[in-house]
Amino acid sequence: MKNIIFLPFLIGCTSLVESPDKPTQSDHTNLSEITGPDDAGEDEPAVTDDTPEPTDTGLTDEAPPEVEADTPPYESCDDGRWPVPNWETGAPSDHGMSAQQLEAAAQYAGTKQSQCMIVAKDGVIVGEWYWGITADTKVKNWSVAKSYAATVVGAAIDDGYLDSLDSPIADYVEEWQGTEKEAVSIHHMLSMSSGLRFGLFRDNVLMALAGNMTRRALNNPLTHTPGDLWEYNNHTVQVAEPLLRAATGMNPQDYAAERLWEPMGMDVNWEEDRQGHAAMYMNAKASCRDQLKFGYLYLRQGCWNGEQLISREFVEAATSPSTEMNQGYGYWWWLNGGTPTLDSVTFEPHPEGSLHPHAPADNFCAVGLGNQFIEVMPSLDMVVVRVGFAPQENLDLWATEGAVLDALLEDGEQIVHNHLLGMVLDAVN
């Protein structure tokens, strides 16, 4: 029965248990607030059993053209390589990496419900593996989509649709005008310190089932002073949808496609509710190579093919600590090196301090349920993508009572993420 309770409505790296030291609401699992058809649940998605056996496509052995390498960080948008129209591929040894060590990392990934793993070094793919999908398959990326959403907000600021990070959301969202939510700024939203109510069941189940996710997010009451408490909250992220729609006059997914994905040659399908609202907190579905492009945009400090697509100022803000409470979190990006870094599930400090104690301190990453990640490593000029199934999609776990729930509760520890990243780092000569 423990498994069934959480079938498959746990979204992204969402918070599943309450920290005993933070304020709580006694009615977190109260179903009496569901009112009207738009908050009623949809039919439960089926868990399929057609996951193919992992097959390793191996490393590329083709050396890249001889291009003088630039030393990161890149000083100009004109520097370095660009995956335009497609990614170059090359031998790991030509980019200071061990093919054997990368192969070992891929073998480990293949045993952990992975769908793809890609390693890019110096702007060149040096290793690429797929299990049960192809290079063109669009895959769910769960809460990795939060980092996509932050980028769309950054673009709207750069374009002047949003005045600044300090602007009150109520300046754009009429439903919050004249209410106590006028105190919530764009910064509060992006830093997960909005003060909007968090509840385990509301955030993980009722939001995912809502026919109108945006209405649900806007109606969520304020329970803490904005800026006082860090909580990983899907309702907070969903507020970006009406904010962007009001500011730009476009659906956020359409604005993002026109402003970002099309110039980058990416094809992104954002999950939507029944009203056509993008689910800003989850599943900006794209191919693994396109997920790699997204990470490369941030490695290149917002540059793309000679153009400053996102301002360096926003990239720096998004990948710097956004609150004192959680030094391992920026604007919907996870950061390495800062302490305390709070677990996305328990809200407790990571026992080892930072997210990746073994990795360079300048690493940052987009993270999704099931240890999905886009890891950006500026000092190594490297991006690593690993996408795989969420715990509730792993049929093997359903054979053991409680195993799905246990895996979900452990997700914030990023065990597979950390181990795989360590193996990739061991491949660097």
Look-up of token digits 């990571």:
350
The answer to whether the CB of 95 falls within 8 A of the CB of 61 is no
The pLDDT of residue 409: 74
Question: CB within 8 A of 125, min separation 6: which ones?
Answer: 60, 87, 88, 89, 90, 118, 119, 289, 292
Regarding the domain delimited by 48-141+286-426, which CATH topology (the fold level of the hierarchy) does it fall under?
A: Beta-lactamase (3.40.710)
Structure tokens at 239: 């507020």
| 22: DSSP letter | S
Ordered by start, the domain boundaries in the chain are 48-141+286-426
pLDDT in tens, the chain (429 residues): 444 444 433 433 333 323 333 333 233 223 223 233 334 333 333 333 343 444 444 444 433 333 344 445 688 899 889 999 999 999 999 999 999 999 999 999 999 999 999 999 999 999 999 999 999 999 999 999 999 999 999 999 999 999 999 999 999 999 999 999 999 999 999 999 999 999 878 897 899 899 999 999 999 999 999 999 999 999 999 999 999 999 999 999 999 999 999 999 999 999 999 999 999 999 999 999 999 999 999 999 999 999 999 999 999 999 999 999 999 999 999 999 889 999 988 899 998 899 999 999 999 999 999 999 999 999 999 999 999 998 777 778 887 888 778 777 787 788 999 999 999 999 999
Look-up of token digits 């290079």:
135
Tell me the one-letter amino acid at 387: V
**pLDDT digits 0-9 by tens, 202-245:** 897 899 899 999 999 999 999 999 999 999 999 999 999 999 99
Distance CA 241, CA 221 (A): 17
The pTM of the full predicted model, rounded to 2 decimals, is 0.85
Structure tokens at 7: 């079938």
Angle between helices 99-110 and 415-426 (to 10 degrees): 160
Torsions phi, psi of 194, nearest 5? -70, -25
Distance of CA 276 to the CA centre of its chain: 21
